[in-house]
């Protein structure tokens, strides 16, 4: 290990709707992205979509859009160097359990090492291993963005488990001053909610509810806690401890069987109860630190669709969001009828849907799915020497939003003022974690 150099690259969300690798032959800036990934010993991406068969019905409620990709995009990602994929996301159930099974089969038949998705809960939680030039790498992946029916189920002696994602449940807790808490109690009594809770508990129907936890006031399944200072009012998140410990146990197991462990989390939660925000919620910082303490050599968050900051904790890199890496939404060739109704579109053509959602007064909206620039990212390459993090190079990229629908959503290396602006913004976001990022020749550099 002492003489080993290991280079790890990571990306944000990959939403691909058609093959893209041929572009590297004619587009030097995209070729530079591909070369960066290929030069790393291991590259991890977040596969935000599914590979369902054409005859698979959609879920009644998917993500904002039902995402799908052809199998060929997996070949392209692997050929680009992205042979590791975190696969459990809020879109994993877009085409129900059959779509999940199809996607796993596609990964396995096309040579993609994936984690966070499985044929049962044990399978979804397992580390995924792959040998690389820099040593054996383990990937552990989970998600806090959990659509109904999407989480994998345990197997019993007589009943098989359910395919799905590896969940890390996170609960929203409302923090209110004692006077407002008294108002919540009064509303609960006036509406009969408190009587219903008591009746359900007496009949043994309170399974799945924690109404006996007297540290909170409960209204239906919303939880409120008292703060004495009005400045402390707001929203916080509490991580499900059994889920957390199960994932940390997996990280510990992986650290005994691989030279390198990468932990990833797909999570849309932001600060103050918001979603897809540049701010990083406290629970995410705590969970990332816990994963490093358990043996992870790197931690990567995906999901918010915008950049957040990074830190180096105990000598290990943590990325709190790398934003979008591919965003080929406009190239998705079909959507279920529910999607058009959701957006109020009567013309059931994909282009009509995107004309309604992506554009305003003929101009591309900047706030489509995130509160911040969604067309910019950084591609980090972390270099470890002798088992220790030596430095990180951050390659600024933009997703060509101004170049038309066939190019929009495909990353290329940024240059000039735009490169400097992306690095500066990422450095500003990272300053909150006491991380210093220098801009050198259009790249961000973190020296350890």
Q: How does DSSP assign 297-350, residue by residue?
A: SEEEEE-SSSB--EEEETTEEEES-B-EEEE-GGG-----HHHHHHTT--S-SH
pLDDT at res. 62: 66
Q: Are residues 382 and 405 in contact, defined by beta-carbon separation less than 8 angstroms?
A: no
The total of other beta-carbon atoms located within 10 Å of residue 33's CB is 22
CA–CA separation, 425 vs 430, rounded Å? 9
Mean pLDDT score across all residues of the chain: 93
pLDDT at res. 1: 44
Going from N- to C-terminal start, the domains of the chain cover: 5-156+241-447, 170-237
pLDDT at res. 206: 66
Fold assignment, 5-156+241-447: Purple Acid Phosphatase; chain A, domain 2 (3.60.21)
pLDDT band for 217, please (50, 70, 90 cuts).
confident
Dihedral of CA atoms 98, 110, 78, 398 in degrees, nearest 10, equals: -30
Mean pLDDT value across residues 330-353: 90
Mean pLDDT value across residues 339-348: 89
Specify which residues 398 forms β-bridges with: 376, 412
The total of other beta-carbon atoms located within 10 Å of residue 434's CB is 8
Specify which residues 234 forms β-bridges with: 175
- pLDDT digit string (tens) for 232-291? 899 999 999 999 999 999 999 999 999 999 999 999 999 988 888 899 999 999 999 999
pLDDT at res. 2: 43
Q: How distant, in Å, are the alpha carbons of 183, 255, 297, 349, 362 from that of 383?
A: 55, 19, 11, 46, 44
């Amino acid at each position: 290990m002492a003489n080993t150099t290991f280079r790890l690259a990571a990306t944000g969300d990959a939403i691909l709707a058609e093959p893209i690798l041929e572009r590297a032959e004619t587009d030097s800036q995209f070729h530079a992205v591909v070369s960066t990934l290929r030069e790393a010993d291991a590259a991890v991406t977040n596969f935000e979509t599914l590979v369902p068969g054409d005859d698979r019905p959609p879920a009644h409620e998917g993500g904002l859009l039902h995402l799908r990709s052809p199998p060929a995009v997996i070949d392209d990602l692997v050929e680009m160097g992205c042979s590791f994929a975190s696969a459990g996301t809020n879109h994993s159930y877009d085409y129900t359990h059959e779509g999940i099974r199809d996607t796993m089969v596609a990964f396995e038949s096309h040579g993609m090492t994936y984690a966070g998705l499985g044929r049962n809960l044990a399978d979804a939680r397992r580390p995924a291993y792959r040998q690389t030039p820099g040593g054996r790498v383990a990937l552990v992946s989970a998600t806090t963005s959990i659509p109904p029916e999407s989480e994998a189920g345990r197997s019993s002696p007589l009943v098989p488990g359910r395919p799905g994602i590896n969940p890390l449940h996170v609960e929203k807790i409302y923090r209110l001053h004692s006077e407002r808490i008294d108002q919540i109690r009064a509303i609960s009594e006036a509406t009969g909610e408190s009587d219903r809770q008591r009746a359900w508990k007496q009949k043994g129907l309170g399974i799945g509810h924690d109404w006996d936890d007297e540290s909170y006031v409960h209204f239906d399944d919303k939880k409120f806690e008292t703060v004495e200072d009005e400045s402390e009012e707001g929203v916080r998140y509490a991580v499900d401890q059994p889920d957390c410990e199960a994932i940390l146990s997996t990280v510990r197991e992986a650290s005994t069987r691989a030279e390198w462990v990468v932990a990833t989390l797909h999570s849309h939660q932001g600060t103050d109860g918001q979603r897809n925000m540049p701010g990083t919620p406290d629970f995410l910082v705590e969970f990332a630190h816990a994963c490093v303490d358990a043996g992870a050599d790197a931690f990567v968050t995906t999901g918010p669709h915008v950049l957040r900051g990074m830190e180096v904790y105990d000598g290990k890199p943590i990325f709190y969001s790398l934003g979008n890496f591919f965003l080929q939404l406009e190239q998705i060739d079909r959507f279920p009828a529910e999607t058009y109704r959701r957006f109020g579109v009567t013309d059931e053509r994909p282009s009509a849907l995107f004309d309604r959602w992506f554009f305003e007064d003929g101009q591309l909206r900047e706030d489509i799915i995130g509160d911040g620039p969604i067309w910019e990212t950084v591609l980090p390459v972390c270099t470890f020497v002798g088992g220790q993090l030596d430095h990180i190079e951050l390659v600024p990229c933009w997703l060509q939003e101004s170049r038309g629908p066939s190019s929009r959503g495909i990353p290329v290396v940024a240059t000039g003022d735009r490169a400097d602006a992306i690095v500066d913004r990422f450095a500003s976001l990272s300053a909150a974690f006491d991380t210093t990022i220098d801009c050198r020749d259009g790249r961000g550099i973190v020296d350890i």
